[in-house]
Amino acid sequence: MRERLARLFAVGVGVVLVALAALFAERRNARAPEAAGDRGAPSASPVPPPAPADPEELARGRELFASEGCARCHSLAGVGSPRLPLDGVGGRLPPEEIRAFIVGDGAARSRLGPSVLRTKARCQELAADDLRALVALLSAER
C-alpha cells in the first residue's frame, strides 16, 4: 500500500512539473520578442536600408558602445555579452525604434523591465550627436 502511494505521489509530482515547465515555456516564448528588448521583435516587413552612414559617425558609435558599457549587456560583431546580441538589429528595426530601445522610451518602455529601464536611463543623458552615432551604428548592423 505504501509503495503504491509513493508511486502515485511520484507520478503526480511528475505531472505537475511537466505542466509547470510547459506553462513557463509558453510564457517565455510569448514574451520572447519583448524579452529580447534591444534585439527587437521582427518587423512585419523588412526595414528598408538606411542611407549610407558617415564612417566618422560609425566610428564614434563604436567608441560610445565601448565607453558607455553597452557590451556589459549586449554583443556586437561577437564582442561583448552574448546574452543580447545586436547583430542584424538594423534589418529588424527602423532607426526610431532603435533609438527608443537605447534610451528606454516610447513603445520600448512597456517592453523593458524596470532594471533595464534604470540602466538605460543613463543613455537619456547622452548628447544628441552621440545618440545619433549609436543609432547609426546599430542601424548599419544588418
**By percentage, how much of the chain surpasses pLDDT 70?**
82
For 101, the grid coordinates are 530601445
Please compute the mean of the pLDDT values over residues 48-73 and round it to a whole number. 87
Who wins on pLDDT, 52 or 39?
52
Average of per-residue pLDDT across 58-84: 92
Amino acid at 95: P
Hey, is 104 helix, strand or coil? coil
| Helix intervals (H) in the chain | 2-36, 55-67, 89-92, 95-103, 107-111, 114-120, 128-139
Q: What is the dihedral of CA 39, 41, 44, 48, to 10 degrees?
A: -20
Average pLDDT, the chain: 84
Higher pLDDT, 1 or 56: 56
The pLDDT-based confidence of 94 (bands split at 50, 70, 90) is very high
Query: pTM higher than 0.85, yes or no?
Result: no
Tell me what pLDDT residue 70 has.
93
Q: What number is the average pLDDT over the span 15-20?
A: 87
* pLDDT above 80: residue 48: no
